[in-house]
Amino acid sequence: MATGFPGRELGFGLHGPLPEAGSGRLLKRPISEMERLLLQQQQQLQHALFLRSVKQRKLLGSSVSSHLSAPAPQDHILGSLASLASSNLMDSGFLGRPEMSSMETRPSAALRDGLQELERRLLLDDDEEEESVSASASAVTTEEWSEAMRQIVAAPVCLPAVQGPNHLSPSPTDSSSSTVSSSASSSPPSSFAAPAGAALRQMLLDTAAAIADGKLETATGNLSVLKRAANYRGDAEQRLTAVMVTVLFARLNPAPPAGSSPPLAEISGAEHFAASQMLYEASPCFKLGLTAANLAILEATKDRPKIHILDFEIGHGGQYVALLHALADRHRLRPAVRTPALRITAVADPTSPITNNETGGTIRAVGDRIEKLAQRHCLHVRFDVVHLRAAELDAASLGCEPDETLAVNLAFALARVPDESVSPANPRDELLRRVRALRPRVVTLVEQEINTNTAAFAGRFAAACAHYGAFLESLAATASLDSGDRARVEAGLVRRAVNAVAREGGDRLERCEVFGKWRARMGMAGFESAQLGPVAVDAVKTRLDAIRPNPGFTVEEAPGRLGFGWKGRVLTVTSTWR
């Protein structure tokens, strides 16, 4: 039997049974008073719903329109990322079209029915007795609620036209290598409070998993929330979010717009080249990795009259500036011992956009600077350049002489050489076999400790979140970087992350591996691990103590390697081989 009092079912109005007449309690009230109480309670309920709807609409009006573009880098980052493929999304209309902020995406019929059911329950119009209440008396109208919910679930980006559902670039190992399971829900978040901390990281991972699974509505809904938490000038977590949101947008729109630079050009240009060298110099994790490689070379070639170093990633030559200083210091401590004749040969692969890059200072110019520095220190140094593919490497083409002690430096080089997943020729293993045939006295390998080679997109994304998150924290603790330099270095990290995570196939040049995989690869090529001596290890630790005002930087010594990291997470690894 209808009571005529809809508020009773939700806890409003009278509670418990009405007392019977003659019970001694004078609780009987006239009908007019009961109607007055009923009207008062209905007005309170409507007022509460009105406040809720006004609050939601205020948040929506101020935030949803700003969710539709990727986080715009500021100042130096804006300039350095102007040619980045992910920034090209703005030119393509994927991220930054003005009309995007006012676009409305209509929900499907099923979704609209679900919203109407939710609306009906919230407004209590399932009670037949409330039909007498005028529609104009409710402050929360059907149109307002529908509009609010439509904005919540609307996709915040315009996806490129596709022919079928599987339009995202697939990873070659999507079915077996992913380390992240999809925990993203099938609908975007309905809360507009930006997540933080662990919740923010989890939303990043969920969004990557949604993209990998083709759940684009979920992914774009999450991105609209994540963009609010991204800030290139914020703390390390906000900076990481900005980096990874850029990666996600680049993944959603893998094809660069017409007239823009191809993906490989972004990480082989002069600005990225300069930013990488700044990173190697500023980050203790990179710098100590190169220092350990120098110490391994000096230790293996000690008291040898003629030393020949083959370098497959010469860069700006900063590693050899430190090496020459070390040789000069050794000569001052032992003046009776004649300084060795040092020869450095830079090997540039003519097919590589990195090692054969002549912009921002040629390799020959780098060699000239090294030779002039050697002259100032009274050292005998000769610098040569050869342009050879991996299959062309041999003692004759490299000019190796029988009386030389040969050392091979592979610092941050192998990760950019394609392997079997990219080319059937497998240039990476071919290079190692050719180097092994030269019978060097020592081979130094320095690489980042992250798998961006064989892992699928979601797995690479998860690894990059942890890896670059620690890097950004460590950069914040590095006093040697001013704001401008830090912006350039972090812009370089963005380009690295976009290439390593968002790209596929031949467009993905950054293909790092963890030490365990390098060890297996080196072993298959015929190399044996050569432990770095205790003198060299102590020297590295002394350098770390001298440069770290922050105890977060760590050195982890393990069989066959030295790991350099931040708060226990290894970021770079140096290993020696023979």
User: DSSP assignment of 21-86, as one string?
Assistant: TTSS------HHHHHHHHHHHHHHHHHHHHHHHHHHHHHHHHHGGGGSSPPPP-THHHHHTTT-TT
Q: Is the pLDDT of residue 71 over 90?
A: no
Q: CB count, 10 Å around CB of 165?
A: 8
Give the mean pLDDT of 210-215.
97
The rounded mean pLDDT for the chain is 76
Give the CA distances from residue 71 to residues 10, 86, 238, in Å, rounded to whole numbers and listed in that order: 44, 10, 11
- Comparing CA positions, the residue from 14, 13, 18 lying closest to residue 41 is 13
| Residue pair 182/228 in contact by the 8 Å Cβ criterion | no
Dmax (CA) for the chain in angstroms is 121
Q: Please tell me the distance from the alpha carbon of residue 142 to that of residue 144, in angstroms, as a whole number.
A: 6
pLDDT score for 142 = 39
Q: Is the pLDDT of residue 145 over 70?
A: no
Q: Please tell me the distance from the alpha carbon of residue 111 to that of residue 549, in angstroms, as a whole number.
A: 56
**What is the per-residue pLDDT across 445-454, written as a single tens digit (0 to 9) for each?**
999 999 999 9
- Comparing CA positions, the residue from 302, 307, 291, 311 lying closest to residue 331 is 302
Give the CA distances from residue 93 to residues 30, 67, 70, 73, in Å, rounded to whole numbers and listed in that order: 67, 14, 11, 17
In 246-365, DSSP assigns E strands to 306-311, 341-348
- Comparing CA positions, the residue from 315, 392, 316, 318 lying closest to residue 355 is 315
Lowest mean pLDDT, pick from 69-78, 347-356, 492-501: 69-78
**What is the per-residue pLDDT across 217-271, written as a single tens digit (0 to 9) for each?**
999 999 999 999 999 888 999 999 999 999 999 999 876 665 556 677 778 888 8
The pair phi, psi for residue 385, each rounded to 5°, is -130, 130
Give the CA distances from residue 465 to residues 98, 238, 247, 459, 510, in Å, rounded to whole numbers and listed in that order: 30, 12, 11, 10, 16
Q: Spell out the residues 6+ positions from residue 559 whose beta carbon is closer than 8 angstroms to its own.
A: 529, 531
pLDDT score for 362 = 78
pLDDT score for 49 = 56
Query: Using 50, 70 and 90 to split pLDDT, how confident is the model at 32?
Result: low
What sections of 477-533 are H helices per DSSP?
483-497, 515-524
**What is the per-residue pLDDT across 169-209, written as a single tens digit (0 to 9) for each?**
333 333 333 333 333 333 444 445 567 778 899 999 999 99
Lowest mean pLDDT, pick from 41-45, 96-100, 111-115, 430-434: 96-100
Q: Spell out the residues 6+ positions from residue 39 whose beta carbon is closer than 8 angstroms to its own.
A: none
- Comparing CA positions, the residue from 73, 128, 174, 127 lying closest to residue 460 is 174
Question: Which value, in Å, is the radius of gyration of the alpha carbons in the chain?
Answer: 32
Q: Is the pLDDT of residue 15 over 60?
A: no
User: How many residues does this entry show for the chain?
Assistant: 578
Give per-residue burial for 482-506: e unless 16+ CB within 10 Å, then b. eeebbbbbbbbbbbbbbbbbbbbee
Task: List the structure tokens of 145.
Answer: 């609620």
Q: Is the pLDDT of residue 3 over 70?
A: no
In this structure, what DSSP letter does residue 379 have? -
Lowest mean pLDDT, pick from 69-73, 420-424, 562-566: 69-73
Count of alpha carbons within 13 Å of 509, Cβ hemisphere only?
17
Q: Please tell me the distance from the alpha carbon of residue 555 to that of residue 566, in angstroms, as a whole number.
A: 9
Residue by residue, DSSP assigns 84-102 as -TTTHHHHHTSS--GGGGG
Beta bridge partners of 311: 346, 409
> Domains of the chain (ranges plus CATH)?
32-67+105-124+141-153 (no CATH), 266-449+512-577 (3.40.50.150)
Beta bridge partners of 208: none
pLDDT score for 258 = 57
Amino acid, res. 459: G
Query: Using 50, 70 and 90 to split pLDDT, how confident is the model at 495?
Result: very high
Give the mean pLDDT of 7-20.
43
Q: Is the pLDDT of residue 456 over 90?
A: yes
**What is the per-residue pLDDT across 297-347, written as a single tens digit (0 to 9) for each?**
999 999 899 999 999 999 889 999 999 999 999 888 888 788 899 999 999
